[in-house]
Amino acid sequence: MTKPKWVTRQQVEFIHEAVIEIGGGWHGLRDVGLLESALARPQYQYAYGSTDTLQLAASYAEAISRNHAFLDAN
């Protein structure tokens, strides 16, 4: 398996802003540390042996939604 291409903070912030523009809500990041923690979770899982792409992608979704790093639309 080739090494995954990780999602960046800038990419997630861009997607968040696009979703807010379409659906409405509050712009902005509530806690950068929570977002960075969420983005690191799949990387840690990969480092400890999890190589399933779908599991790593699901880990992003779960971590971002649970951490509530944004003011709205997590």
Tens-level pLDDT at each residue, the chain (74 residues): 689 999 999 999 999 999 999 999 999 999 999 999 999 999 999 999 999 999 999 999 999 999 999 998 56
Q: DSSP state, 67?
A: H
Please report, for the chain, the start and end positions of each structural domain, with discontinuous segments joined by +.
9-67
How far is Cα 61 from Cα 38, in angstroms, rounded to an integer?
9
What the block records as the tokens of 59 is: 């880990």
Enter the pTM of the model: 0.88
